[in-house]
Each structure stands twice: as C-alpha cells, then as structure tokens.
Amino acid sequence: MQPVLGEIASLSAALLWATAVVLFRTPIAVHGARTVNLLKCLLGTVLLAATLPLVGGFGQLAEVAGRDLALIAVSGLVGLTLGDTALFAAVGRLGAHRTLLLQTLSPVFAGLLAAALGERLTAGQLVGAAVVLGGVVMAVAPAGPAADGVRRATGAGLALGLLAAFGQGAGVVIAKAGMEDIGILPATLVRLGAAAAGLLVVGAFGGRLAGLGGAVGHPSTLRRLLPASFIGTYLALLLMTAGIILAPATIAAVLLATTPIFGLVIEAVADRRRPTVTAVIGTVVAVVGVAVLVGGS
C-alpha cells in the first residue's frame, strides 16, 4: 500500500478542492475571485499555524535546512501566488473552459522540469499520465463554439494561461525538491504562508485589499468561507503536500490536474444538471488513466 499513498493523497486533494470550489461560488460572486482567494489562503495559514503546536510546535521548522525552507517558500510563491494570479487573469480574458484546457499543460511543465532534475517514470506511468490528461481535456473542452461566451483568445490571455500552467507545474517540482527532510504540516504551513504573503503584496500593488475588509465583516460570507477554506485549503493542501512528498512530482501534478473531473461530477449533483456525453466519456477515460498510472507505479 505504501507505494500508492502519494497517489491517493493527490487524488484526495483534487477531490476536496473540487468540493470546495462549489462552496466558494457564492462568496466569489459577491466579493470577487481574487479577494476570496486571498482570504482563503489567510484562513488556511491561520488554521495550519494553530495546528502545528499540537504536533511538535514551531521547533520543527528550526531544524529544517534554510535551503529547504527557501525552496518550499518559493514553490508557494511560484505555484500559488504567481500561478493563481495568472489563472484568474486568464479566466477574465479567455473564459473558464479555455483556461482549464491550458491548465492541462501544468503536468507537462512539471514533467519536463522533473526530468531535467533526474526524475524518471516507467513506460506504464507515462501512458497512464497521457490517458489521464486526455480524459481531462475531453471533459473540460467547450461543448460548442459559444461555450465560453464571445471572448476571443488574445495573445495576453494565452500568455497568462500558459504562465498559470507553468507556475502550478513548476511549484510542485520546486516543492518536491525542498520537502525531503520536513514534515507534511510544517511544509504546508511554509508554502501556504509564503503564498498568502505574496498575494498580500500583489493585492496591495493592485489596490485590491479594500474588498478584504468587506468580506471579513460579512457574517454570511465567513460562514461559507470557513468550511470551504477548511476543506479546500487546509485539508486539500495537506494532502497535496503529502502527494508531493510521497509520489514522483510528475505523477502528483497529473493527479492534481483531475480536479475538473471531480468538479463536473459534484456540480452535476449539486446543480441537478446532466453532464454532456463528451464530459462523461472524458471522465471514464481519466479514471482508466488513473488506474493505469497507479498500476504502473
């Protein structure tokens, strides 16, 4: 069972994040995606900091090499600050479907970087990864020419989408390089804390911090954000970190990219909406790919 614990953790993280996205929909509609993203990162950081004393305290961090802490912090800035900021900007220019399609390149970037650092996958893992990404592409592809509204794919939008995919893929590989001698909880705290600090700086320069106070002072928003942040930031990031530590970086990146698959199923149930035939086929293909990927480990 030990060899697949990282794969299980990565899939569980994707499932929890997809669940949280549904819970985040109302706060995002009221306060905007960037404000909610910053607030959930801050809440997650507070929850992690409150939990750390229960499992050994901050003394654990003092025992970790400075190089490793720096790599983990950089992974948070690259993957969660740069990646998520570019992602939201790309959605505004390309629409959600095209941006999600570009996000399937995230494991490709992760694989190239990991290979450059010496990571090697078996033939079965490579086939499984390709099948998983093929299924995700089928599931999130626009149903028709108007599926993404009337937005035209601009050069800036494509560049932002690629930057988002690169940031998320590179973030996983950089995190992997710094997590050899650190526990899951402190590693997650450092990564998310660095990301939250980065988002605060980005928000300050962009003049977007004004909405933060309004969201915090809104009781109904907090009631929705707290459970969503617990599920989608606190628990999901702990599982994501476990996946990165226990599985090859490329495999973790591929399995984390299955979030849209889980999202389609959860939204179909929550909204009582029947998914398209292509989405169903893509989901089946992705599930088969996961089985091949895990079986090839």
Domain spans of the chain?
A: 2-295
Per-residue confidence (pLDDT) for residue 257, from 0 to 100: 92
Per-residue confidence (pLDDT) for residue 29, from 0 to 100: 78
- Amino acid identity for residue 156 in this structure: A
Structure tokens that stand for 81 in this block: 């600050």
The answer to whether the CB of 260 falls within 8 A of the CB of 101 is no
Per-residue confidence (pLDDT) for residue 134, from 0 to 100: 92
Summarize pLDDT for 214-230 with one digit per residue, the tens.
666 667 777 888 899 99
Per-residue confidence (pLDDT) for residue 58, from 0 to 100: 81
Instruction: Give me the DSSP letters along 9-77.
Output: HHHHHHHHHHHHHHHHHHHHHHH-HHHHHHHHHHHHHHHHHHHGGGGT-THHHHTS-HHHHHHHHHHHI
Three-class DSSP category at 145:
coil
Query: Rounded to two decimals, what is the model's pTM?
Result: 0.88
d(CA 117, CA 241): 19
Q: CA dist 263 to 128, 140, 231, Å?
A: 21, 10, 14
d(CA 178, CA 74): 10
The answer to whether the CB of 20 falls within 8 A of the CB of 231 is yes
Per-residue confidence (pLDDT) for residue 48, from 0 to 100: 95
Three-class DSSP category at 149:
coil
Structure tokens that stand for 138 in this block: 């089928």
Structure tokens that stand for 51 in this block: 């939990």
Per-residue confidence (pLDDT) for residue 124, from 0 to 100: 87
**Tens place of pLDDT for every residue, the chain, 297 residues?**
456 899 999 999 999 999 998 888 888 777 777 888 888 899 999 999 999 988 877 887 888 899 999 999 999 999 999 998 898 888 878 877 778 888 889 999 999 999 999 998 888 888 999 999 999 988 887 665 545 444 556 788 889 999 999 999 999 999 999 998 899 999 999 999 999 999 999 888 876 676 666 666 667 777 888 899 999 999 999 999 999 999 999 999 999 999 988 888 888 888 788 888 888 898 899 989 898 887 766
Residue 274 is classified by DSSP as: P
d(CA 267, CA 103): 19
Summarize pLDDT for 246-269 with one digit per residue, the tens.
999 999 999 999 998 888 888 888
Per-residue confidence (pLDDT) for residue 213, from 0 to 100: 66
d(CA 183, CA 195): 18
d(CA 267, CA 283): 14
Per-residue confidence (pLDDT) for residue 150, from 0 to 100: 45
Per-residue confidence (pLDDT) for residue 37, from 0 to 100: 85
